[in-house]
Structure 1
Amino acid sequence: MNIVGQNTTSDPEAFYESLKEKLEQTHNFPEDYLFKFIITNNQSKLTEIYRVFDGIKYTLTNRDSKNGKYTAASFNAFVLDANQVIKIYKEVGSIEGVMML
């Protein structure tokens, strides 16, 4: 898992607990939440991310990098609470080669 801006040597559970607190302070759930990911231009990786969002109402925007090596995927998803946001990040984080913004 690679979260841009995160110190990768820190405890992931502590990171997610801190993120949950920040989400609860700054968002009024339920609401739309924007998830952004960067992956190598590989349709199977994007399909794996789609599976994480099964059963969730979302809109998707994809954009390929200038050289076509990477794809930026933005999911604007309706989430119920901070726990659901964390669950999605953890599931996408288990997919190899995905950078989360």
Structure 2
Amino acid sequence: MSKSNNSDEFYKRLQEQLKETSNWPNEYLYKFIVPSDNHKIALVEEIFDNMGAVIKTKPSSKGTYTSVSINVQMKSAQAVIDKYKEVGEKVSGVISL
């Protein structure tokens, strides 16, 4: 199975879970692991700019990666998925948790 099919299935399953467990709009906590590159971290932060997001970063013990936690009010389960996809498309090497 291709990576695209795996991603599509993952997002479909996540969207169903979000719809079942949350009423929208609702706060959502995103977590990303980003290579410790100031440009890549800034790109992630820029994607959530002007949304009232609370963003926290924490470097790994060796400084190779940075954890980026973003708490933000989202309008719908689909909006959550769209942001995950946007980060994945714009920031190379990012891991979405």
TM-score (norm 1): 0.85
Aligned counterparts, 1:46-57, within 5 A:
46-57=41-52
Separation (CA, whole Å) in 2 of partners of 1:17 and 1:9: 14
Q: Kindly provide the CA deviation profile for residues 31-87 of structure 1, in whole angstroms up to 9, marking residues without a partner as x.
A: 110000001111100111122112312101111111111100100011011011001
Aligned partner of 1:18 among 13, 32, 49: 13
Deviation of the 1:9 alpha carbon: 4.2
Counting helix residues as a fraction of each chain, which structure ranks higher? 2
**In structure 1, C-alpha distance between the alignment counterparts of 2:2 and 2:42, rounded to whole Å:** 26
**Which segments of 5 or more consecutive residues in structure 1 lack a partner in the other structure?**
1-6
1:39 maps onto 2:62 in alignment:
no
Which aligned pairs between 1:15-94 and structure 2 lie closer than 5 A? Answer: 15-94=10-89
* C-alpha displacement of 1:21: 0.7
Q: Which residue of 2 aligns with 1:3?
A: none
Q: TM-score, normalised by structure 2?
A: 0.88
Greater RCO, CA 8 A, separation 6+: 1
User: What stretches of structure 2 of length at least 5 have no aligned partner?
Assistant: none
Tell me the percent identity: 36
The alignment's C-alpha RMSD in Å is: 1.7
